[in-house]
Amino acid sequence: MALSAPAANATRIPILSGLFDWVRGNLLLAPALIYAIVITQAPFLLTIWFSLQKWNLLRPENSRFNGIGNYIDLFQTDEFVSALINTVALTASVVLISLVVGLFYAELVNHRFPGRGIVRTLLITPFLVMPVVGALGWKNMLLNPIFGVLDWLITSLGGPRVDWFAQFPLPSIIIIVIWRWAPFMMLILLAGMQALSDEVREAGRVDGATAMQEFRFIVLPHLRRYMQLGILLGTIYVLSEFDSIAMTTQGGPGNATMNLPYLIYRTVFYSYDVGHAAAMGVVVVVLTFIFATYLIRMLGRLMEGNR
Amino acid sequence: MIAVGWRRTRHKSPLVERVPLWRGVLAWIVALVVFFPVLYIFVTGFKSEQNALGLPPTIIPTTDGGFPLSFPFTTENYAAILAPERNFVSFFTNSVLTVAASGLLVMLMAIPCAYALSWKRRGQNRDILFFFLSTKFLPAVGVIIPLFVIARDLKLIDQPITLIIMYTSMNLPIAIWMLRSFFDEVPKDVLDACQVDGANTRQELFSVALPMITPGLVATLFICSIFAWNEFFFALNLVATRAATVPLFMIGFETSEGLFWAKLAAAGTMAMLPVVVIGWAAQRSLVRGMSMGAVK
């Protein structure tokens, strides 16, 4: 009885009754779908709404609708513009260098040698390490100018002492994030290498291709799709990089390592400026969706090719 | 989809042959360099604070640190971190609870959903799959502000349920795409045979399809656990002390003025170890999870 009551009500409202019928016909799908809509789409729509408000949690009485005022403000503040540039620089360098390093890792373990399984396991480990712990370990034990292993290595080889986070703040972050993402690229490229049919490689050898030529003219072109996939997925995830910055420089020195996710965090939780933070959130989502759209199209093509 | 990938049964290709010795040696050297930070965090947890700062770096535990690259082994840091006043156990329990509860919720919703998307072929399936995908690509910073404001108004800040809800939504798309790709691999004849025998959907799912994808189910649960365990951003913004998870325990070491590296390393080891081990076990499925089942 309890169940039939809303049904009876719903039939009076066409949209609701349509929705109700759909849910009843899709009982397996409905819970997950409704959950995802409520927890992800609704907050995002609210973010857009908040981004149009002048709203500071400390002075709620001054709140008012502000149109695109917050967005105009953003592009006139140096902090936002430099965070936008840092975000793009961080993401682009991490993704591209990780791709090259990952290709190197993958080529190393794509052949049989004693302990290959262990080597592959060691290589993927950085991706599994809790990012917060990885960043703290790098910051202290490896990149510390006095007690760090890297500086010890450089100075014992006769090089200069480097204060990484003071002299090269953004590159230091980039190194930590590459360490984490290169294994991911390796996994994708390795899957690609192993999908390359032996006949093709064999044909190359029969034609007298050297190992280098085989790699350049057979393996690399074959890997193109996998590289695209790695670049798109990597970009989407690295655009939101937060942990390594929060645990090392917190955006500093100055704004040298401030990216958009960290600036949003600071704007909400230090300045309580909901309106501007929401506007920045929308900018990150737009940036992400430029790449996500390509990725979704690519996955769609792959899906069709498979059916 | 695009790849056959590493199946355990993959035939040994004649061309993926043994390579010259130097390539194997190079691979080992690179792997050890890449792994060094993890190893160094692990061993530093067993040093005294003074030895943790010592250079050249020592990596071999001994009783007295008598020979090169060795240090005297101690468990004092673990004792210090696990001391009741530091409350590490409560952070750890919160993490286990949050990860387990969100994993259960994800599975409860994802299994029927992925099953329907894989077996009941309909035009809308594609749109639904890609809708889930797009929710995964919505950055956390794009939703955190309303979620924070709503959680604050509903007095849900610092409640375990808040993180459970967030991690469920974070892992739901991954689980649906992964499970669907596993369901897709079950031979079509098996299902047809069930239908001939007059099995209903529930019987098909529980007695035929699910048992066949058990390894996939475990892999999916592992992947979801890894992401939930390591998650920091939602935890930082939505919980404080009562419901705080292990990543939040590590914040204490970010600001430490005194150099407590040995304690940092001991806490870091306990924080990362469970998921590193799970990840090693699930490494063949890792790429499938990260690529939403596109690369197998």
Q: How far is A10 from chain B (nearest CA, A)?
A: 23
pLDDT of A221 above 50? yes
Pick B287's closest partner by Cβ from A187, A261, A296: A187
Q: Would an 8 Å CB–CB cutoff place B110 in contact with chain A?
A: yes
Higher per-residue pLDDT: B203 or B236: B236
Residue A304: pLDDT band with limits 50, 70, 90: low
A179-203 pLDDT, tens digit each: 999 999 999 998 888 887 777 777 8
* pLDDT at site B4: 40
| Ramachandran sector of residue A242 (left: φ over 0; alpha: ψ -120 to 50; beta: rest) | alpha
Average pLDDT of the residues in B155-184 = 91
8 Å CB contact of B40 and A112: no
* Structure token pair of residue A63: 């709140």
Other Cβ atoms less than 10 A from the Cβ of B183: the count is 22
Residue A3: pLDDT band with limits 50, 70, 90: very low
Residue B38: pLDDT band with limits 50, 70, 90: very high
Residue B258: pLDDT band with limits 50, 70, 90: low
Higher per-residue pLDDT: A99 or A13: A99
Average pLDDT of the residues in A211-218 = 81
Please tell me the distance from the alpha carbon of residue B1 to that of residue B93, in angstroms, as a whole number.
39
Interface test with chain A among B145, B148, B283, by most A beta carbons within 10 Å: B145
Residue B226: pLDDT band with limits 50, 70, 90: very high
Give the distance, in angstroms, between the CA of residue B261 and the centroid of all CA atoms in the same chain.
25
A40-77 pLDDT, tens digit each: 889 999 999 989 988 888 887 777 788 787 888 888 88
Please tell me the distance from the alpha carbon of residue B285 to that of residue B144, in angstroms, as a whole number.
29
Inter-chain Cβ pairs, chain A and chain B, closer than 8 A = 324
For chain B positions 70-109, those within 8 Å of chain A (CB to CB) are 108-109
**Residue-range domains of chain B with CATH:** 21-74 (no CATH), 88-250+271-290 (1.10.3720.10)
Q: Would an 8 Å CB–CB cutoff place B260 in contact with chain A?
A: no
8 Å CB contact of A247 and B250: yes
Give contacts of B254 with chain A, Cβ < 8 Å. 136, 246-247
Please tell me the distance from the alpha carbon of residue A250 to that of residue A244, in angstroms, as a whole number.
9
B64-76 pLDDT, tens digit each: 777 888 888 888 9
Interface test with chain B among A48, A103, A141, by most B beta carbons within 10 Å: A141
Average pLDDT of the residues in A16-39 = 83
Q: How far is B31 from chain A (nearest CA, A)?
A: 5
8 Å CB contact of A43 and B275: no
**Residue-range domains of chain A with CATH:** 4-51 (no CATH), 71-306 (1.10.3720.10)
Q: How far is A72 from chain B (nearest CA, A)?
A: 19
Q: Would an 8 Å CB–CB cutoff place A201 in contact with chain B?
A: yes
Please tell me the distance from the alpha carbon of residue B41 to that of residue B59, in angstroms, as a whole number.
10
* pLDDT at site B10: 45
Average pLDDT of the residues in A125-147 = 93
8 Å CB contact of A292 and B134: yes
Q: Which helix (H) or strand (E) holds B162?
A: helix B160-184
8 Å CB contact of A130 and B229: yes
Please tell me the distance from the alpha carbon of residue A307 to that of residue B121, in angstroms, as a whole number.
12
Residue A88: pLDDT band with limits 50, 70, 90: very high
Please tell me the distance from the alpha carbon of residue B245 to that of residue B242, in angstroms, as a whole number.
9
8 Å CB contact of A239 and B132: no
* pLDDT at site A13: 67
pLDDT of B195 above 80? no
Q: Which long-range contacts (CB under 8 A, 24 or more apart) does A249-255 make?
A: A249/A165, A249/A169, A249/A172, A249/A173, A252/A169, A253/A165, A253/A166, A253/A169, A255/A78, A255/A79, A255/A82, A255/A83, A255/A86
Higher per-residue pLDDT: B269 or A19: B269
pLDDT of B208 above 90? no
Pick A47's closest partner by Cβ from B56, B57, B145: B145
8 Å CB contact of B27 and A233: no
- Asked if B135 and B170 touch (Cβ cutoff 8 Å), the reply is no
Give contacts of B19 with chain A, Cβ < 8 Å. 111-113
Interface test with chain A among B32, B34, B200, by most A beta carbons within 10 Å: B34
Q: How far is A253 from chain B (nearest CA, A)?
A: 15
Average pLDDT of the residues in B208-229 = 89
Residue B12: pLDDT band with limits 50, 70, 90: very low
Pick A47's closest partner by Cβ from B30, B110, B142: B142
Please tell me the distance from the alpha carbon of residue B45 to that of residue B75, in angstroms, as a whole number.
8
* pLDDT at site A211: 77
Please tell me the distance from the alpha carbon of residue B173 to that of residue B135, in angstroms, as a whole number.
7
Average pLDDT of the residues in B108-133 = 84
Pick B272's closest partner by Cβ from A41, A120, A129: A129
8 Å CB contact of A44 and B142: yes
Nearest Cα to B146, choosing from A235, A34, A296, A285?
A285
What percentage of chain B carries pLDDT values higher than 90? 40
